[in-house]
Amino acid sequence: MATSSAPLYREFYPLNELPYEHLFVLALEALALLKWKVTNLGTNGVVASTHNGLFAWNAEIKIVLENGGAVLQSTSAGGELVDEEKNKKVVTRLTETLTALRQKYTPDELTGKYYALRNDIYTGRARVLTAGTLTGREQLNDILSIFKPTHGYFITPILLNLNIIVFLLMAMAGVNVMTPESVDLLHWGANFGPLTLAGEWWRLVTCCFVHIGLMHLLMNMYALAFIGLLLEPKLGKSRFLAAYLLTGIAGSMVSTYSHGHTISAGASGAIFGMYGVFLALLTTPIIEKASRKKLLLSIGFFVVYNLLNGFKPGIDNAAHIGGLLSGIAAGYVFLPGLKQPRNSKLKLAAIAILSVLIISVSAAVYFKLSAG
């Protein structure tokens, strides 16, 4: 019997008269053979992880011995919001390896290996995990985890929450959640050339947190969560936040220049900026070679598809293009500091250079349009 609930896959592996201790040893031997690193060892199981590279898909593997066998579970470790049956393939590899190893060792050999491991096992945690179907609360916590700041994923959930809070405040104030009126969007900070260029420059920033309806918000937040999971662990908090805000400003400024009399709002300019940063890094050795081609294809497809879709009426493609191009520039500016992660001066210098570059160009365009 097997169950699948992305981003995890779980399967039961029966003992079939194999002693509990022997299956424990086989589990550790299988992990070693597959070159999956053990991260936690307890009295009833083991936790391990794959190491395919920072930007490649990885999994956390849990093996729990209980109820006449072992529960084998693979969970996506981050980066992808759907597993495309990758977790199932991990469990299948583990099952096949366990079955093959059962034929390799004699019972006496397995017993000897188990007693050699006892000290390691009993100094571990008492339990590794509780297998079985996830409860409703556990499933909810898994979904809500994308909104919780953690190490390596701190700025993204804050940005997600800020966008959602602004939308909820708009709804509480009576703004239509599906098709908001233009006057309401302007009241909440949307970008509109005649107002923005008349001294309300702050709209270049505030418009990045205002969304034109629920579907607009949901699509942008999905895209932001996806790129944040991939990119923030590599950039770090300060670079990620700087890139988001600065590319958002660049996108808003290009929108004002191109469609000055159109009301524009949404985080898509900044989000395209983050995809631009990632695209730039994908052309460099900073991303593992094994992951580069696949990610370049998937991210490139997302960008091209959305740019083409942006030519439809009512979509501000200028903000997308402005964000994307400034993001690509940001990626290359950040590159020296990413190559030397311990050099904080390089990181700060890159943020300063990017800030001066984008703000000065935006200011020059702003004053030129204002004068015109």
Q: Is 259 a catalytic residue?
A: no
Q: Is 320 a catalytic residue?
A: yes
CA nearest 121: which of 230, 24, 194, 20? 24
Catalytic residue among 74, 252, 264, 268: 268
Helix (H) or strand (E) holding 301: helix 289-309
CA nearest 295: which of 212, 230, 202? 230
Residue 75: count other Cβ atoms within 10 Å of its Cβ. 22
CA nearest 246: which of 216, 228, 273, 219? 273
Sheet strands (E) in 128-193: none
Largest Cα–Cα separation, the chain: 88
Q: Report whether 318 contacts 257 (CB < 8 A).
A: yes
Q: Sheet containing 45-49: which strands, arranged edge to edge?
A: 2-5, 8-14, 69-76, 59-66, 45-49, 37-42
How buried is 17 (Cβ within 10 angstroms: 0-12 exposed, 13-18 middle, 19+ buried)?
A: exposed
| 3-state SS, residue 103 | coil
How buried is 174 (Cβ within 10 angstroms: 0-12 exposed, 13-18 middle, 19+ buried)?
A: exposed
Q: Which residues contact 223 (CB under 8 A, 6 or more apart)?
A: 268, 271, 275, 302
DSSP class of residue 153 equals B
For 59, list phi and psi in degrees, rounded to 5.
-135, 150
Catalytic residues: 268, 320
